[in-house]
A and B are shown apart, each in its own frame.
Chain A
Amino acid sequence: MFKKILIANRGEIAVRVIRACHEMGIAAVAVYSDVDRAALHVRKADEAYPIGPAAAAESYLNIAKILDVAARSGADAIHPGYGFLSENAKFARACVDAGVKFIGPTAAAMDAMGSKTRARQAMERAGVPLVPGTSRGVESFAQAEEVAGRIGYPVMLKAAAGGGGKGMRLVHAPEDLKSSLEGARSEAERSFGDSEVYIEKAILNPRHIEMQVLADEHGNTVYLGERECSIQRRHQKVVEEAPSPVVDPEMRRRMGEVAVRVAQAAGYTNAGTVEFLVGETSKGSQSKDPQNNFYFLEMNTRLQVEHPVTELITGLDLVHLQIRIAAGERLPFTQQDVKIRGHAIECRVYAEDPDNNYFPSPGKITLLLQPSGPGIRRDSGMYEGWTVPMDYDPLLAKLIGYGTDRDQAISRLTRALDEYFIGGIKTNLSLFRRILRHPDFQAAKLDTGFLDRMLKEISPANPKTESTAEAAAIAAALFTALGASAQEARSQPNGAAARDANATPNWKSTARREALR
């Protein structure tokens, strides 16, 4: 087993991996950029090394700097987390060359899955169901027109190197094809340095369901059940749950076996996720059970943000298993041993402003009250007094609710969301309160169009608002009175300060004090 692991990441996932290291008696090495010196992952690590400026390209994405820290610290393995270098085959190769174990798949497996067109070609050969479309980049507008006409509109244009919704365009009619193709190509070029774009039949408002797989380095591959990730905004997941309310044991077995075939076709090792679209290929088609049609979308060659929901329903620790697999151990169980029990739902808590089109809202966390109690797991990278930097993805924490069944998971999570308070910055906590109370969510009527539809509805008025508004008014006066008197007591020796505190409401002077910090 490894003695020391370097975590080439930041935020909640770095803290998550550090915890696993400590549970396994392994020393954890953190790296941090200039703006992350005070970050939680640095506080929790055994060793921490600065790796340069805030810009990720000069720190968390800088392979040479990270390998230099690995050498200096004597780390024998690197966990990449998700994002940053986690799916970078060049990095995986550089780790091999530097004699440090990369905790994840091989560079060759990443290459096979890294390009969506190449992945489609490999899956075609392996007989995996694919959304109708091209498995090579389109070469010309004429070819795009021909393909789109053949498979039928609407079609989806996708960047071969894509991810996170970048370089994606939904095209409803032939007259929009040309501009969409140009837009997708230039966005793909800008985002990934690769303008290759391919065409797929658009599945309107599909469900997005993914299957967790785990493969050791001795040829054993298992699936650990699915996650339902249909609650998305701008192609980014917001709420995930496991198991999916629409997948029955038979469909789970079929999807799981396809996922294992996908992983084996790519020579995959360690933890990975096979994503599927589930739904109809054309609106109004008369398939008897349209929800049973699933199509391979892509494989994510890393630990997913939403891995905790799978951990809760299987009782497994995916990070422990990743580390054990990377250390050469065999999977300690077989497919028959994997049992799903209960239901888990995760909310991705972001520093963003729901009243301002979900713009990022970095800043200082002035007050943090965190939920706990039965069935609640919180994977967080923040703390009170910490300033959320503006340089990275605004994911602050993940709040996960677990219950005997879906209803109990929802009610526990709803209760925990009401306990959660993050003061000083804007967060999307209120969005989750709305989603979890929405009748369609509660009835598990989920598809990728759910969130956009919900956001167009007028948010239901809370009947309690009248009386709570009065409570807020009373509290406002009390805070001012209490604050002013506390201030007065503190600044006794200074008469001028005391007079000032009396004359102005406390939060104005507080704000002024904070501005001076």
Chain B
Amino acid sequence: MTYDVTINGKNYRLELTRDADRWSCRVDGRAVEVDAVLARPDVLSLRIGSLAYEVKYERVAGETYLSVGSERFATEVGDPRSLRGRARAVDDQGPKKLTAPMPGKVVRVLVSQGAEVEAGAGVLVVEAMKMQNEIKSPKKGTIQKILVNAGTAVNAGDVLAIVE
């Protein structure tokens, strides 16, 4: 199997084959000696040569992270058919979504649809755990759509507004 893996924005091509109880692994074409044991779900005990690593797997608000020791890496495993992967490449241009960083409640909408906003301008206020958090525009542009009202309960990752 071949995987295109992105770790903190850097790409790696991984080739893995399993021969009986052993893995054979190439990283960007270079052979690497690996030995892996799934210690429990989401925890991999990994040996690369004789170096030992404990690797933890988690998903937070739609993103995947792997932690090696106490270092945490944003991780993607490429899937050529993934729409998300393609959308990411053209992310800087075109409309941008404002998403809720955590579950909570929208307490205020600060701008109206069609308003011009600067990058970093507050668009909405979401309250969670007694704290009010301003959700800011990621870019300069026009508020194309506001999808929530004051009082709307939202989950992490929910789209709140779109900036064109």
Contacts and interface: CB of A to CB of B under 8 A. Distances in A.
A433 interface: yes
A430 B70 contact: yes
Given A394-B129, A418-B70, A476-B75, 15 more contacts: A360-B102, A360-B133, A361-B101, A363-B103, A390-B104, A391-B129, A423-B56, A464-B69, A468-B53, A469-B7, A469-B8, A471-B48, A475-B36, A479-B44, A507-B59
Interface in A463-485: 464-465, 467-482
Max chain B CB contacts within 10 Å: which of A369, A424, A474?
A474
A475 B66 contact: yes
21 contacts: A361-B156, A363-B102, A363-B156, A366-B42, A367-B56, A394-B129, A421-B67, A423-B56, A424-B58, A469-B8, A472-B66, A474-B25, A474-B32, A475-B55, A476-B14, A477-B25, A478-B34, A479-B44, A479-B55, A481-B16, A507-B59
A462 interface: yes
Contacts of B34: 474, 478
Contacts of B10: 469
Contacts of A360: 102, 104, 128-129, 131, 133
Contacts of A366: 42, 58-59
Nearest to B11: A473
Contacts of A508: 79
Contact of A367 (B16, B58, B103): B58
Contacts of B27: 470, 473-474
B53 A367 contact: no
Max chain B CB contacts within 10 Å: which of A470, A477, A514?
A477
Contacts of B42: 366-367, 423
A478 B59 contact: no
Contact of B102 (A359, A423, A469): A359
B60 A426 contact: yes
Given A394-B129, A471-B55, A476 B68 contact: no
A475 B55 CA distance: 7
B58 A423 contact: yes
Contacts of A363: 60-61, 102-103, 156
